[in-house]
Amino acid sequence: MTLAAVTYLDRVCISIVAPSIMRDLKLSQIQMGYAFSAFTLAYAIFEIPTARWADKIGSRKVLTRIVLWWSAFTMATAGAFSYVSLLVVRFLFGIGEAGAWPNAARVFARWIPARERGRVQGLFFAGAHLSGGLTPIAVAYLATFLHWRTIFLSLGSVGVFWSVAWFVWFRDEPRDHPSVSPAEADMIEASRGLPPGHAGSWREVLKTRSLLPLCLQYFANTYGFFFFISWLPTYLEKSRGMASVELALFAGLPLLLSVVADITGGLTTDALSKHFGLRVGRCGVGAVAYLLATVGMAAGTLVGNARLAGILIATGGALSMFTLAPAWATAIHLGGKNSGALSATMNTAGQIGGMLSPVVLAYIVQKWGNWSLPLHILSGLYLMAAVSWLLIHPERAEDDTTLLSA
């Protein structure tokens, strides 16, 4: 949870200070959109290679490098002096953070019994979204007496402390950890459902059944998420007339509501999977949640009351996050010994959506002056994600009943 919290702390802060950055560096709205997307482009390019690297040398070393790197370039954002320098720094920031979540999935695949992965994934994302939801409020407060450059320096230092603590405490295999007894290690290894042997080939990952619809639904998820952490504050200001404390509160509301959605989504997907099988527990949860997210997002653009619109949009976003636990649990389950690489493939598809989201919105608003149109597009993507879940078959060839009920 702390890893997830630190990742979102550093990602979300730039959306709150974006107006100050644009003013100081004399950036247009489209240029700021590209600055948002520079991070995501790098993240998408280096996601799979970093995950495969972890499959070879372990997540302990790779996650330590990841967090130290991105923390350094979070602080380096404070030194941006032009549009080009900001693009370079945010691109390097994205290289550093690439692979963080697939590495977390790889850790869960080795440490968490299969029957508990949904709830653990839910708690992981809850930590991320709680941090993301509180960050706008905290940064808005800090911005009242600190320059945006100082804010980046302060937030970047948090990850340095985390990486040191992680390297000292964590071990890649439960059996290697000094606080894990042999009996506990035996229990974890018997119930985690990993095939014996080392990571397989890249060809095995690409041949995985249901990989394409799994990637499509995650494309929609991350496209929406990057709207929430990049342009939502500006949308609330320009289209809904919010300002000051009210603006900060509603900007963070989607992620705060997502904390509840993450936890309940994890509990729901595990419970339904245990009683009705993976098809209902994973795919049913994903399809229904995205369908409701479609309705919530569309309704948020149609109501006239600004606060009600903010609540509906936030609820739609949270419902999309209800699907994160089943999505990552499915990726771990289908990937098996390749869980890092397969989850990285899914997450890369998501990052492509995240890369497009800020730029597409900027061009749409510049051309048509319509802040509602990007949200209609997002509603359509959520509907596509609901259909995608109906095409996913999370069952592997072997019988999973023992793993889910053990």
- Which helix (H) or strand (E) covers residue 394, if one does? none
- Contact between residue 106 and residue 112 where contact means Cβ atoms under 8 Å apart: no
How many other C-beta atoms are found inside a 10 Å radius of the C-beta of residue 380? Answer: 14
Instruction: Look up the pTM and report it.
Output: 0.80
Q: Output the CA angle 165-168-173, nearest 5 degrees.
A: 115
Q: Is residue 188 part of a domain?
A: no
Residue 399's domain is classified under what CATH number?
1.20.1250.20
Q: Which of 223, 243, 222, 219 is nearest to 233 (CA)?
A: 243
Residue at token pair 């249901």 = 210
Q: Which of 272, 227, 205, 248 is nearest to 373 (CA)?
A: 227
What integer pLDDT is reported at residue 127 of this predicted model?
83
pLDDT tens sequence across 368-377 = 888 889 999 9
pLDDT tens sequence across 257-308 = 999 999 999 999 999 998 999 999 999 999 999 999 999 999 999 998 999 9
- Contact between residue 31 and residue 19 where contact means Cβ atoms under 8 Å apart: no
Domain count along the chain = 1
Res. 8: pLDDT tops 80: no
What integer pLDDT is reported at residue 196 of this predicted model?
64
- For the chain, the average pLDDT equals 88
pLDDT tens sequence across 334-368 = 887 777 788 889 999 998 998 899 889 889 988 88
User: 3-class DSSP state for residue 158?
Assistant: helix
Distance CA(138)–CA(144), nearest Å, equals 10
Q: Is residue 192 part of a domain?
A: no
Q: Is residue 179 part of a domain?
A: no
Distance CA(346)–CA(397), nearest Å, equals 21
Q: Which range of residues forms the domain containing residue 146?
A: 2-172+205-405
Q: Is residue 283 part of a domain?
A: yes
Q: Name the token pair of 96.
A: 């550093």
Max CA separation in the chain (angstroms): 64
Q: Is residue 186 part of a domain?
A: no
pLDDT tens sequence across 221-267 = 999 998 998 889 888 988 898 987 888 889 889 988 999 999 999 99
Q: Is residue 109 part of a domain?
A: yes
Res. 4: pLDDT tops 50: yes
Q: Is residue 74 part of a domain?
A: yes
Q: Which of 347, 101, 388 is nearest to 216 (CA)?
A: 388
Q: Is residue 386 part of a domain?
A: yes
